[in-house]
A and B are shown apart, each in its own frame.
Chain A
C-alpha cells in the first residue's frame, strides 16, 4: 500500500510541466540517438549529462532515464525498415525483423516491436517498483564482503557475456581495472601510476572513459570507413505500424513471458547491458522456442524476444543502482554520476528518507510513463524521427565530437580532461580494430573502484581473511555464481578447442547466427 501510495505521488510529480517537458525531450533525444548508427544510447545519456548541471535532481534523472529507455526501442525502426541497426542491441532485429519487412509486412514487424517494447518495459518497471523497497532492505544487510561479491559478480558476467573471444574480453576488463587504479588510492592515499603528473594524480573518472571510448572512438571508426551512409532511407517508404491481433499475441505468450523475465533478471545483474540482454533473449528463443527451426526467417518471436529483453533490462538495471549504488552499465553509471552531482548518494538510505523517497518514486513512475510515451511517440512520430538519418555523417560526427569535448570539459572544468578523452578515443578505435570488446573495459573502469574499496574494507575488518567471502550466505552465493559465470565460458572455450582439434567431422551444421 505504501509503495502504491508513493508511486501515485511520483506520478503526480511527473505531470507537472517541468518534469513532463524533460521526459518528452528525453524520449525524443533517446529515439534520435538510437536511430543514428553513429550514436548510441550511452552517448545520448553522456551528452545530456552537462545539461543537467543546472537542473534540480528530479528532472535531471528523469531526462537521463527517458533517453535510456527510449534508446532501447527506436533503433528497431531503422533495423526493420532499412537494415541499419542504430545500436548493437538492434542487430538481432535484422534477422527476423528485416526478413519480415522484406516479405511485405514492415508495418506488422514494427507493430510486434512496439508491443514487445511495451510489454518488456511495463513488466520490468512493475517488477522494479515491487522489488525496490524489499531490495533496499536486503541492501542494508550488504556488508563490505557482500558488496564486493556483488561487484565481482558483475565483473565476471560482463566477461562471460562479452561474446567473441574470452581472452580478449579478459584483456579488455583488466585494462579497465588498471585505468581505475590510476591516482590516489582510496584507503591509504598511496600514489599509483601517477608518474608525477598532475593529470594522472587526479585519476581518470569513468565518465571520461565512456565519452572517449563510445563517443570519440566511434567517430574515429566512422572516419576510417569514409563516413558513408549505409542505406539512404527511401523517402517513399510508407512508415506505418500495424498491431498484431490478440490471437497472435496469445500464440507467442511464452516468448513474451520468457523474455520479460530474462530481460529483467539480466538487468538486475550488474554488467549485462541492453545489448547483451537482447542477444541472450534471442539466443534463448533459438534454443528453447517452439518454432526455433524457423527462427531467422521473419517470425514474430525473433522480433519480440530481443526487443522485450533490451527494454526490460532498463528497469532491471535501476534496481541495483538505486538500492545499492552499483551501476551495472554505461548508461546507469552516468545516471549515478548525475545523482552524485546533485549531492545524493544512491543506496538503501534513499528509501528511508521521506524527501529522497519522493524523488525515487518520481523516477520509478517516470519509467512507466516513459515506456508508454515512447510507444505512443513511436507510433505517431516515427516518420519525423527517422528523418535524422538524412543528416550527413560528416556533420553528425562533427556534432558528436563537439558534444564530447564540451561534456569532457564541463565535467570538472578541466582542459586536461579533453586530452584524456582523446586518448580513450584512440584506444576505443584501436580496440574496435583489434576486435577487443569495449564494454568489459568500461565496466572495469566503473566497477573497479567499487570493488577495490569494498575489498579493502573487508580485508581490514576481517583481518586479511579472504575466506570470509565464501563463508557468509549472501557473499558466498554471489561468489559461487561469479565462479560459475567465469567457469562456464572457460569450459565452453576448452571444449570447443578440443572439438576443433579433432577432425572436423561432426560439425556439419555450422552456426548461422553471428551471436
Chain B
C-alpha cells in the first residue's frame, strides 16, 4: 500500500523533475530534495515533528524532504551541519529549546544572527518522569529522597532547559544530577533499565510508555495543572510558586542569508501544514498547546522572551550560591 503511494510520489517527483526548467524560470525553488535535519536521534519529539511536517510539506513543495538524524552535543552537531552548509534553502532544521537555550550561554558558539526561524511549530510543557515502580510515589517523596542521595536525571544534554531545570533544583539543595543522552531511545531505556532515576521529557514524547504503565509523571513544569490524560492530578510547579517552566519549543529554521523569497515559500508551506487536520491531531496526541504554531514575525519576540526567562532561572540558581 505504502509502496504504491511512494511510487506515485516517485512518478510525481519525476514529473516535477521534467517540469523543473519551466518552474525554475518562474520560481526556481525548490528543484531538488530538501534535507530536513533533526539534531537528535530518531524516535523523539523533534524527529516526530520533522517526519510529520515533511510528509505534509511534500505535496505542497513538490519535492521530497528526507529527514536526516544528526544527534550530539545538545543539538549542536546538527546545527553545525545547517550553518556550515550553503544558504540555498536546501537544508532546513528542527531546532528545539534544548539547543536554543545555548544561545543564551555566557560564551555562545552560535548567534541568533546565524539563523532565520521560519515558524514555531510546537510548544509543550515538560515534566519529570520516574519508572512506574519507582520507590518515590510522588513529587514530595522524590524531593525528600534527593535531599539525602544523588538522583540521576536523564536529559538531552548540557545547557538545555533540562539541565537548567536540574541545576535550579540543585541550587535549592536537592542532589539532582544531569546525565546527557542525545538519543531519545537511550534516554528512555535509561529509565526503564534503571540506569537513571528521573527523566526530563515533554508531555507527548513518552506517551506510549506512560500509557503502557512503564513510566509516570511526578511533576509538570507549567504555570498550572494540566488537566489532560495522565497529567490529571500531577502537581505543577507554577502552583507551588516555582516559576521555572521553560516550555519546549520546536522551530523550523534555515541558515541566515537565505533569500527572502525562499524563506517566504517555506514559511507559507509551514503555515499551511499547521492548518491541516493531520497536524492538529498530532499536536493533540502530544498534549501540546493547541495554538502552538506561531509565524516567524511573532516567533522572534516569543523566543527572545524565552531566552530572557532561561537566563533569569540560571542567574537565580547561580545566586543561590550552590550552583557548582
A: residues with CB less than 8 A from B are 18, 53-56, 59, 140-144, 183-189, 198, 201-203, 325, 340-345, 347-349, 352-353, 412-414, 453, 456-457, 460-461
Contacts and interface: CB of A to CB of B under 8 A. Distances in A.
Nearest to A138: B193
A343 B67 contact: yes
B179 to A, nearest CB: 5
Nearest to B67: A343
A343 B42 contact: yes
A201 B109 contact: no
Contacts of A187: 72-73, 157-158, 180
B80 interface: yes
Interface residue SS majority, chain A = loop
A186 B185 CA distance: 16
A343 B69 CA distance: 8
A198 B85 contact: yes
A183 B77 contact: yes
B254 interface: no
Most buried by A among B33, B73, B177: B73
B191 to A, nearest CB: 10
Contacts of A453: 182
Given A56-B2, A340-B69, A189 B74 contact: yes
A444 to B, nearest CB: 18
Given A188-B158, A413-B35, A460 B180 contact: yes
A189 B73 contact: yes
A347 B189 contact: yes
Given A343-B51, A345-B41, A349-B43, 14 more contacts: A55-B6, A56-B3, A143-B193, A143-B194, A143-B195, A185-B73, A201-B81, A341-B66, A345-B42, A347-B189, A349-B188, A453-B182, A456-B180, A461-B177
Q: Which 8 A-B pairs have the closest CB atoms?
A: A189-B73, A198-B84, A186-B72, A143-B195, A345-B185, A189-B76, A343-B42, A140-B193
A345 B188 CA distance: 12
Name the interface size band of chain B.
35 or more
B88 to A, nearest CB: 11
Interface in B162-191: 177-186, 188-190
B109 to A, nearest CB: 7
A349 B185 contact: yes
B189 A203 contact: no
Interface string B274-286: 0000000000000
Contacts of B85: 198, 414
Contacts of A413: 32-33, 35, 90
Most buried by B among A18, A343, A414, A460: A343
A157 B298 CA distance: 56
Contacts of A198: 84-85
A184 B42 contact: no
A349 B157 contact: no
Contact of B3 (A18, A144, A184): A18
Contacts, number: 113
B146 to A, nearest CB: 15
B35 A457 contact: no
Given A186-B77, A187-B158, A201 B84 contact: yes
Contact of B72 (A184, A340, A342, A412): A184
Most buried by A among B35, B77, B102, B212: B77
6 contacts: A53-B66, A56-B3, A186-B77, A343-B67, A349-B43, A461-B196
Contact of A55 (B3, B64, B77): B3
Most buried by B among A349, A456, A460: A349
Contacts of B178: 460
A202 B6 contact: no
Contacts of A456: 180
A286 B188 CA distance: 47
B192 interface: yes
Contacts of A140: 189, 192-193
A54 B84 CA distance: 27
Given A340-B42, A343-B42, A345-B42, A186 B73 contact: yes
A348 B186 CA distance: 9
B68 interface: yes
Nearest to B85: A198
B68 A461 contact: no
Most buried by A among B42, B102, B158: B42
Contacts of A412: 35, 68
B45 interface: no
A326 B157 CA distance: 22
Given A198-B84, A413-B33, A461 B152 contact: yes
B205 interface: no
Contacts of B41: 340, 345
A376 B42 CA distance: 38
A457 B32 CA distance: 39
Nearest to B102: A189
A184 B76 contact: yes
Interface string B56-96: 00000000101111011110110011001100001000000
Contacts of B43: 343-345, 349
Contact of B42 (A55, A344, A460): A344
B10 interface: yes
A18 B1 CA distance: 9
A236 B2 CA distance: 46
